[in-house]
Amino acid sequence: MNGNIRESAHQLDCNGAVGRRINRVITGSIGGLVTAAAVLMAAPGLAADAETRTVTSHGISHFGSLKYPADFESLDYVNQHAPKGGTYSTWGYGTFDSLNPFIVVGEYEFYTHLMFESLMARAYDEEDSYYGLLAESVTYPKPGREWVEFKLRPEARFSDGSRVTAEDVVFSFDMLSTKGSPQYSIPYKEVEAVEALDAQRVKFTFKPSAAVRSLSVEVATMPIFAKSHFEDRDFAQSSLDPILATGPYLVESMDPGQGIVYRRNEDYWGASVPYKVGQSNFDRISIEYYADYTAAFEGFKGGDYDFRQEYYSLLWNTGYDFPEVQEGRITVEEIPDHTPAGAQGFFFNLRREKFQDPRVREAIGLAFNFEWSNQTLFYDSYNRTDSFWENSSLQAEGLPSAEELVILEPLRGIVPDTVFTQPAFVPPESGSERLADRRQLGVAGRLLDDAGWKVVDGVRTNSAGEPLVFEIFSETPSFDRIVTPFIENLDRLGIQASLRRVDRAQANRLEDEHNFDITTRRYSFGLTPGAGTRSAFGSSSAHAKGSFNIAGVDNAGVDSLIEAIEQVTTRAELQIAVRSLDRVLRAMHIWVPQWYGATHRVAYRKKYSRPENYAPYTLGDTYFWWYDAEKAEASGNLE
């Protein structure tokens, strides 16, 4: 899976994903509008190379360049000689009742990715490169990529020893495109045909309208499972029966909803594949599930599990002084994270009538005092997020550049007028001394007045006499300290907001059904966003059950800019298109931006080691860390 976009439905004050992730994209095109993609490609100096030629390669990337040669032995960020053995243990939030992560039904176990592999897999020290895993090569025409053909490795096997064939690839595509959740089924509609050319070769042909740059990578990273496994089983049904797959780990045991143990497959087929050398080093990976974040921390202190990534600034600054840390038996460190910080915030459900007016949404956002929260609650641990591509070269700043205006001008009247007249929206800074910043609340009050929500007997009321009432989701008591002050400020505006406590399963169901007012979500689109932006913001996913367009963005101008992102052929064009989309989304006020950090905050018992040359774009703890017996013995952490 390509990991271009991921989300976290459960967040505390954090900069990493805790809950479900998404790493699929949704594609599509729009009609009846001069698209930003067409304008971008017609701009001077952006003409495509007309020469067509066929390329066969050991890897694929969005823009063609690969760091590793065809004869590479291993990735630079792994330890080729990492020992195999030991147990990695960590925690999961909430519960699970399914081992099928590819459908809407059920709450799937978060680490099921350990069992599945794709035709090609991402290198986490490059911006957008993928190398052969189940497939030994990929062939495609340049510059268009109207089709891609993969040649499977003859040694590729499922965990039962059966060979992976082109028919299995076709079957996997068929199941995901017809019965899979929207992040699979919607983008795969842009695939015109999938053919098994022989037992080892499979060809994907794309529709003329398809975003081939992104879609070629998406099919390369599609999970593959065995056709034979579903002869008497319905793919669309949630199940705790593991799906037959090719990955390095199998389910050894589980206590449904409470915990699971994965065991490394001693007969794993891909141990010597260059991409996999130095990876999958633990004999077992054990996950204990907790319904409460603080209880999970107590479980770590008590030795229930050994690796913890910390997302809660209060605990990070005050909790890691217990005896094992003081005795040097636990390592506590921050590891740099070079991925774009992404977009974390309170997202509005735009399907609700009360949130239709952007002035209402902007006013609600002004009631969130980040500066006070950061000083009072977060120990000054974070920076304010304002962009959907925060802390990256893709972030829009100031007024639109001349290059951005080339693709924005045709969208006048479709996107907010402020896109052209004001700098990219940045939440105004509030005072940190007190929760209620009178200046910002005054601005918010005037916006609400202008939108027709007047104060009547202390309550914001519309012309129909209806009060402005909504709920904010919270999945853990630890998040209450953030939501409650926000609600206090909203009350000062006459808004009747309330906190609704839900568990993870409830939140997933209500969000999948679009039955909520405001919820917290984090998206990270990676260094090379593509059709994944359609999954999060495209009209085609706005009303699909289980989609990741959590806000329900449904705007033809946004669709046009997404198409521009999908169709670019150079990184320079990508920056122009993404910055344009970023400033439009920010002008729409679809969220209340929260915060971000730039490190992985981790604590683990001194029994694990990691490569010195760490991967800049992933933590990789379950992939290329390993059990260090010498360190475990020296620290008294032997298993």
**Residue 35 banded pLDDT, cuts 50, 70, 90:** low
Residue 162 lies in a domain: no
What local confidence, expressed as pLDDT, does residue 38 receive? 55
Tell me the per-residue pLDDT of 462-505, one tens digit each, with 9 for 90 and over: 999 999 999 999 887 878 999 999 999 999 999 999 999 988 78
Answer whether residue 547 is part of any domain: yes
Q: Given a cut of 70, is residue 1 above it in pLDDT?
A: no
Q: Is the model's pLDDT at 24 over the cut of 60?
A: no
The interaxial angle of helices 556-567 and 212-220, nearest 10 deg, is 70
Least confident of 45-59, 202-216, 229-243, 401-415: 45-59
pLDDT above 90 for 535: no
Kindly indicate the confidence band of residue 18, based on its pLDDT and cuts at 50, 70 and 90.
Answer: very low
Q: What pLDDT, on a 0 to 100 scale, did the predictor assign at position 13?
A: 63
Q: Distance between CA atoms of 17 and 596, rounded to whole angstroms?
A: 12
Whole-angstrom CA distances from 28 to 176, 502, 532, 543, 563 are 17, 34, 11, 15, 8
Whichever domain contains 434, its CATH number is: 3.10.105.10
Residue 378 domain flag: yes
Handedness of CA 409, 410, 415, 417 (dihedral sign): positive
The tokens 């990219």 sit on which residue?
Answer: 424
Q: How far apart are CA 399 and CA 397, in angstroms?
A: 7
Q: In the chain, pLDDT over 70 holds for what percent of residues? A: 92
Average pLDDT, the chain: 90
The pLDDT, as a whole number, for residue 211 is 84
Considering the domain boundaries, does residue 257 fall inside one?
no
Write the pLDDT tens digit of every residue in 562-602. Answer: 999 988 889 999 999 999 999 999 999 999 999 998 899 99
Residue type, 602: V
Give the 3-state secondary structure of residue 585: helix
* Domain membership of residue 443 as a residue range: 344-596
The answer to whether residue 281 is domain-embedded is no
pLDDT of residue 214: 86
105 and 238 Cβ atoms separated by less than 8 Å = yes
- 327 neighbors 28 (Cβ within 8 angstroms): no
Q: How confident is the model at residue 452 (pLDDT cuts 50, 70, 90)?
A: very high
pLDDT at 529: 87
- C-alpha span between 45 and 68 (Å, rounded): 30
Closest CA to 561 of 27, 32, 35: 35
Residue 476 forms part of a structural domain: yes
In a domain, 556, yes or no: yes
CB 328 within 8 A of CB 635: yes
Strands 87-93 and 284-290 turn out to be parallel
Q: Which residue has the higher pLDDT, 48 or 70?
A: 70
In this predicted structure, what is the pLDDT of residue 19? 36
Least confident of 43-52, 187-196, 232-241, 418-427: 43-52
Counting the structural domains of the chain, the total is 1
pLDDT at site 26: 27
Q: How confident is the model at residue 3 (pLDDT cuts 50, 70, 90)?
A: very low
Q: What's the pLDDT at 238?
A: 93
Q: Note whether residue 28 is domain-resident.
A: no
pLDDT at 633: 93
Task: State the pLDDT at residue 149.
Answer: 98
List the one residue out of 184, 162, 165, 181 whose CA is nearest residue 173.
184
**Bond before 143 cis per omega within 30 degrees:** yes
| Tokens representing residue 59 in the block | 């890897």
Band the pLDDT of 637: cuts 50, 70, 90.
confident
